[in-house]
Amino acid sequence: MIPEVVQAMVRLLEVKDLSTAAHTWRVVLYTRALAEDANLDRAIVERLTYAAALHDIGKLDIPDAILQKPGKLTDEEFEVMKTHTTLGHDHLRGMGEDDPIAVGLVRHHHERWDGLGYPDGLSGESIPLAARYFAVVDSFDAMTSIRPYRATIGERAAQAAMEEIIASRGSRYAPDAVDRFRSLYDAGTFDWIRSHFNDKSQVPGYAGLDAVDLVLPPSRG
């Protein structure tokens, strides 16, 4: 995928979805940390980085009235929201994207290990590996983002999110994905990402892979 196209699509989504650039940066950097910890090839890390940045790209095709609704969605609205997975998949395929990592992650990032997720109700190892790992990343970030209704923030929110994810190990989440995420969390690998790219800080829009290297902390070399 062409980096400029990824950036442009992510920017469009941030405007439409009212989500923050910080969210994109965080999920991209968590994903990259996991991939690097697994010693994956540089080329695979790059593909995973794009896939993470584009995970919710199907929301471009969801009506604003649903996407930007401040309150809870009705059941009917939630059914429409769920189609962001298949719409995103179709969108990428329509652009000629055929990287199985990107199209698989976009389509399957809301599947659950126990088969109760969407859009296809896949279970266990039939869920693409990248999507199984990204499900943990996306949930952790959702649970630790600043929301008007959330009382706990910062360290307490992160700890609570980690405990909730561990409690759903083997039901909602793939056991190996939880274990690897947890070991990086315990090692403090994610701390700088959460503190630097928090929802109150003004961070530049997602700017692609080269910029990811620029924002790595000095200790990473």
Contact residue for Fe ion among 56, 97, 111, 141 (CB under 5 A): 56
- CA-to-CA separations, 49 to 29, 56, 62, 149, 213, in angstroms, rounded: 8, 13, 23, 30, 12
Q: Minimum CB separation from Fe ion for residue 38, in Å?
A: 23
Q: Which is nearer to Fe ion, 20 or 189 (CB)?
A: 20
Q: Minimum CB separation from Fe ion for residue 81, in Å?
A: 9
In this chain, which residue has its C-beta nearest to Fe ion? Answer: 56
* Number of residues binding to Fe ion, judged by CB under 5 A: 1
46 part of the interface to Fe ion, by CB under 5 A: no
Footprint of Fe ion on 82-121 (CB under 5 A): none
Q: Which is nearer to Fe ion, 56 or 97 (CB)?
A: 56
Residue type, 105: L
Which two structure tokens, joined as six digits, stand for 206? Answer: 């997602």
The stretch near Fe ion (CB under 5 A) out of 49-57, 142-150, 161-169, 183-191 is: 49-57
Q: Which is nearer to Fe ion, 56 or 141 (CB)?
A: 56
Q: Minimum CB separation from Fe ion for residue 57, in Å?
A: 9
Q: Minimum CB separation from Fe ion for residue 175, in Å?
A: 22
Q: Which is nearer to Fe ion, 56 or 111 (CB)?
A: 56
Q: Which is nearer to Fe ion, 86 or 198 (CB)?
A: 86
Reply yes or no: is the peptide bond before residue 63 cis, omega within 30 of 0: no
- How far, in Å, CA of 155 to CA of 194, rounded? 10
Q: Which is nearer to Fe ion, 47 or 109 (CB)?
A: 109
Residue type, 221: G
The stretch near Fe ion (CB under 5 A) out of 56-64, 92-100, 123-131, 200-208 is: 56-64
Q: Minimum CB separation from Fe ion for residue 138, in Å?
A: 7
Q: Which is nearer to Fe ion, 57 or 189 (CB)?
A: 57
Neighbours of 160 (CB within 10 A): 14
- CA-to-CA separations, 106 to 71, 90, 98, 120, 155, in angstroms, rounded: 25, 10, 12, 12, 29
Q: Minimum CB separation from Fe ion for residue 85, in Å?
A: 7
Contact positions vs Fe ion (CB under 5 A): 56
